[in-house]
Chain A
Amino acid sequence: ILNVEQSPQSLHVQEGDSTNFTCSFPSSNFYALHWYRWETAKSPEALFVMTLNGDEKKKGRISATLNTKEGYSYLYIKGSQPEDSATYLCAFSANTGNQFYFGTGTSLTVIP
């Protein structure tokens, strides 16, 4: 079983603040890294799929970077809005073992 860790576990920020979270994963046998946003009572929503070292992805105010050699990915949210309040999950896949491992998530609350 591979270990995927996310930090911080939870975060409260003021509307307008920028914030970032970390996903750490094994640095060997990297295959893919996914980021999801999961709002209460909804389905997880895919944000990014990252497959190459140095990948940078952007979707509106949200962006992500990937470092497969050191085993981490950052998710950034610029100018947080209350609608950004959700749990942000990362999921890692190795090219061995054929599994998909989720982190425990970062719960973000944006205070108006």
Chain B
Amino acid sequence: KAGVTQTPRYLIKTRGQQVTLSCSPISGHRSVSWYQQTPGQGLQFLFEYFSETQRNKGNFPGRFSGRQFSNSRSEMNVSTLELGDSALYLCASSLSAGGFQETQYFGPGTRLLVL
């Protein structure tokens, strides 16, 4: 079974631009979570989607948003990029409605650099 895939793998943007990242979960998985990893803050939870609905949300500003499609693929959007948004963005999928009691399978990540 194919793993979690993320596109693009690398991205360079400038301040003020917006960016959209994509995540395709493992086939059959319905939950997708997004995380941001920075050297200073470590790995932080952004949000989780299940059945096209945002189920859980971390402490990030409204510039960070996401959505999930009927095929469970998910996109994350960051508007008005700031230098501090430079990070590795990871998504993870899990099977169903077990939420944070289920094993999460991570993708390879998208590394975003904001200049």
Taking Cβ atoms with an 8 Å cutoff, the residues of A that contact B are: 1, 31-32, 34, 36, 42-46, 49, 51, 89, 91, 93, 98-105
Chain B interface size range = 20 to 34
Known: A31-B100, A43-B4, A44-B90. A102 touches B105 (CB 8 A): no
Which B residues lie within 8 Å of A43 (CB)?
A: 3-4, 90, 106-109
Say yes or no for B7: interface residue by CB 8 A criterion.
Answer: no
Say yes or no for B15: interface residue by CB 8 A criterion.
Answer: no
Known: A31-B100, A31-B101, A43-B107. A100 touches B33 (CB 8 A): yes
A49 to B45, CA, bound (A): 17
Q: Is A105's CB under 8 angstroms from B101's CB? A: no
Q: Tell me what chain A mostly uses at the interface: helix, strand, loop, or mixed.
A: strand
Please, could you name 29 A-B residue pairs with CB atoms under 8 Å apart, sorted by A? A31-B101, A32-B101, A34-B103, A34-B104, A42-B108, A43-B4, A43-B106, A43-B107, A43-B108, A44-B43, A44-B106, A45-B106, A46-B103, A46-B104, A49-B103, A51-B101, A91-B43, A93-B99, A93-B100, A98-B55, A98-B56, A98-B57, A99-B45, A99-B57, A100-B33, A100-B58, A102-B35, A102-B44, A105-B42
Per-residue CB proximity of B47-72 to A under 8 Å, as 1/0?
Answer: 01000000111110000000000000
Closest CB-CB distance, A97 to chain B, in whole Å? 9
Question: B45 — nearest CB in chain A belongs to which residue?
Answer: A100
Question: A6 — nearest CB in chain B belongs to which residue?
Answer: B42
Question: A34 — nearest CB in chain B belongs to which residue?
Answer: B104
Q: Within the complex, which residue of A32, A45, A99, A102 is in contact with B56, where a contact is CB–CB below 8 Å?
A: A99
